[in-house]
Amino acid sequence: SFDEWLASVGGRSNAFTADEETNYYLSVNYDAIEEALHRLGEFFTAPEMRRDCVEREVDAVNSEYEMSLNDDGWRILSVMKAIADAEHPF
């Protein structure tokens, strides 16, 4: 897997989704950067979309959502978005 290969060359990766974009990052030893970028790029040019991976990501997103339900900052932001002018780029 990508994560196993990345760990074998001293790297790691992660991602997070904001309101309008998903951010991906990785850290890897310099001598593996070209291969790491190639492999990361394949997520976008040739995604596998295996059912088990999709289900795991859906569970992760749902878990993050459920954790935010009691977070006052997220709740305030949700209310602000709900009552904001529809033309506002919120």
pLDDT at 47 over 90: no
Interval 64-82: pLDDT, tens: 889 888 899 988 988 998 8
- Global pTM reads 0.64
pLDDT at 4 over 80: yes
| Higher-confidence position of 88 and 25 | 25
Residue tagged 């059912």 (tokens): 51
Interval 28-45: pLDDT, tens: 999 999 999 999 999 899
Residue 57: the pLDDT is 87
Distances (CA, A) of 47 to 9, 11, 18, 51, 85: 22, 21, 21, 12, 37
